[in-house]
Structure 1
């Protein structure tokens, strides 16, 4: 009975999370901008003194790294990019759009939220002014496909990808992990054996936290997506994402059962099941770095390293391994995510900024600082300053 309640609770929580992505009101239609190569004009100094407003989820260290990554562009062009980050982004952006006062560019961490605006005809079609040949030369087609969405009058290029993350990673405190004699698991059974081994040693295996302000719960959605990809077909996964496969279906219930067994089994998660919903996602891995670690395993995208202690070193204090597959017939899937930039106000300077975000230079500083992976083909491997970030990039490419 307890197991049934745990699975049911998991399904209810996930249903509420997906429901929170419902469409919101639309802003007024943007005025058209003048034709021309906006980015070249910007670098020629023709837009000096212009301001481009942005909104998104970057706060704390992420906000600092983003600001640092765009400084060079601002200095060379004279364009001031004013980014407003909020932990309540999902709620605040709805209010801004409903009040007909959207920022020029919005940084969406959830393509589904962007898609709700696209369906209402709010988002500017980037293909109307961007050089599509250049875009296709600098991104693999799947990134362009994921930015292409259905609007009221057909498909549009709704956004371009900036920083991306490989989410199918399990982080661990490498030094303590090695000293304890633990081995990196290659299969799901080995991962479950490691979970039991850590518990048998008197410690807590997993660090889990899903609190994120108005967006609370998205890490749970990520977990569920990972497990759907590992326990059923891609066709069923796509149906589930589109709402065509019910949460009561055997396929979804199976994935939820795996998740609830891992999360809700006594002693598996630091702080117990009650702490999962109240622990901020950025704080949840921090107990790994205590001496001795209070928990040992944390599944999250590579951006999470931004929340690790500042003096921690990749490959020394922490490392990662790939979250293993469960059923061999579904292979070794990798869940990817990232920041997709969409345009709401069409002006030359706004076009220039969007065009800049479609280049590796826009994320170079962040890649070098750690915690970001570039989807751009013009990025350079030497930008990655440690083996961990290079390993994540390789995991995504493979």
Structure 2
């Protein structure tokens, strides 16, 4: 759970006004004759989307604050060159707010989904519109079959990928590793050996936190999903997501117990905070900060966590903080990668809506957003050199690696009652000491 979907603060008033101006096409270009702007060389890439000057497309998504500003910057030239105004509203409680709007028949033209499960529910209810030919073409050019399939239903495309995040990362301090003679582990056994070495020195190697307001528990579900891919393998993972095997199946019990060898190990956690139970009350936002003071050494969290480090922190391979790929348990099962992301889907099929959707599905949009940092795309046509942020570049390289076996966040694909409900609360109870079997029996009983 949680990708660019972080539960972030709303924009301050001044920033919101600036964002509105950018999305409306502010600056000198906005005062120029629209036809002259549209014919300019700068607008050549946007010709396929022109012909809808003076229209407005409303959009709702989970991206707020700085990331919403970056979205607006990324599509600024599109807005100026097409004359289509994008009226974006970000919500830190997106899933509920969207459902409320659907219930009131107050639909946005476009929504940015981070939970394919919720999106598929709206498909089943007949709310979402099928993709146009232009959108289909852009999707087929840009993404692998696996990524495309998350937006399909009964052979029809209803959504296209936008941003992505790599969740299979462990954050660390390169300076601390160099000082203490540690090496980045390349296998699970190496990871455990490193953890034991740190613990033997009297320190707690791992720091963690799963508190996230109403969404408390989601970081623990990410741990379970990452271990499931590594221990049970992608095929079992897929069956688990579809409920073809139950939550309390022995294979999933083994997965949770394996995760517990780190998360519920009092010798390993919770560095910089307190004991194991403190994980449940430690905010996921601040959970990794003890890396900066040497109070912990390892913190498993997604690529988007790069946005949480304090200003002035050098995030790079030779910097204060960087990340490495969470190594496999069984190399024979490939290089499993847990991913999340946002998907674009439409509740309206007006021509200007289809134009915006087709643009967001294109490599041109991704190429505009990537250099702004704090964002990754799995679009295979993007020049990796555009990812100037080192962690973004690392994540893009992992996604492009032919050995990688990517699977989307399980909880985001499950029915909301489980994926955004009992799975979160169950893992929170587990962190606090509830038994594995009792936890999984309760989650299984909640499956609708």
TM bucket normalised to smaller: 0.7 to 0.9
CA shift at 1:51, angstroms?
2.3
* Contact persistence 1:370–1:389 (CA under 8 A): yes
Structure 1 residues 100 and 131, CA gap change in structure 2 (3 angstroms): closer
Structure 1 residues 275 and 51, CA gap change in structure 2 (3 angstroms): farther
Is 1:277 the counterpart of 2:280? The answer is yes
Structure 1 residues 43 and 242, CA gap change in structure 2 (3 angstroms): closer
Structure 1 residues 381 and 328, CA gap change in structure 2 (3 angstroms): closer
Structure 1 residues 56 and 220, CA gap change in structure 2 (3 angstroms): farther
Superposition CA RMSD, Å: 2.3
Equivalent residue runs for 1:252-331 within 5 Å: 252-267=252-267, 268-270=269-271, 271=273, 272-289=275-292, 292-313=293-314, 314-315=316-317, 316-331=319-334
TM-score by length of 1: 0.81
Of the three residues 371, 392, 396, the one matched with 2:395 is: 392
Which residue does 1:137 correspond to in 2? Answer: 141
Which residue does 2:33 correspond to in 1? Answer: none
CA shift at 1:81, angstroms?
2.0
Of the three residues 51, 56, 63, the one matched with 2:68 is: 63
CA shift at 1:257, angstroms?
0.4
Of the three residues 339, 357, 361, the one matched with 2:360 is: 357
Which residue does 1:122 correspond to in 2? Answer: 127
* Contact persistence 2:306–2:391 (CA under 8 A): no
Structure 1 residues 185 and 361, CA gap change in structure 2 (3 angstroms): same
CA shift at 1:376, angstroms?
2.2
* Contact persistence 2:151–2:343 (CA under 8 A): yes
Q: 2-side partners of 1:222 and 1:69: how far apart?
A: 29
CA shift at 1:156, angstroms?
2.0
Q: 1-side partners of 2:262 and 2:82: how far apart?
A: 51
Q: 2-side partners of 1:327 and 1:378: how far apart?
A: 31
Q: 2-side partners of 1:93 and 1:394: how far apart?
A: 33
CA shift at 1:384, angstroms?
1.6
CA shift at 1:64, angstroms?
2.9
Q: 2-side partners of 1:123 and 1:384: how far apart?
A: 32
Unaligned runs of 5+ in 2: 1-44, 402-448
* Contact persistence 2:219–2:284 (CA under 8 A): yes
Is 1:340 the counterpart of 2:343? The answer is yes
Q: 2-side partners of 1:287 and 1:49: how far apart?
A: 51
Which residue does 1:112 correspond to in 2? Answer: 117
Which residue does 2:93 correspond to in 1? Answer: 88
Equivalent residue runs for 1:151-230 within 5 Å: 154-230=154-230
SS of 2:156's equivalent in the other structure is strand
TM-score by length of 2: 0.73
SS of 2:127's equivalent in the other structure is coil
Unaligned runs of 5+ in 1: 1-38
* Contact persistence 2:61–2:90 (CA under 8 A): yes
Which residue does 1:10 correspond to in 2? Answer: none
Which residue does 1:28 correspond to in 2? Answer: none
Most deviating of 346-355 and 81-90: 81-90
Structure ranking higher on relative contact order (CA contacts 8 Å, 6+ apart): 1
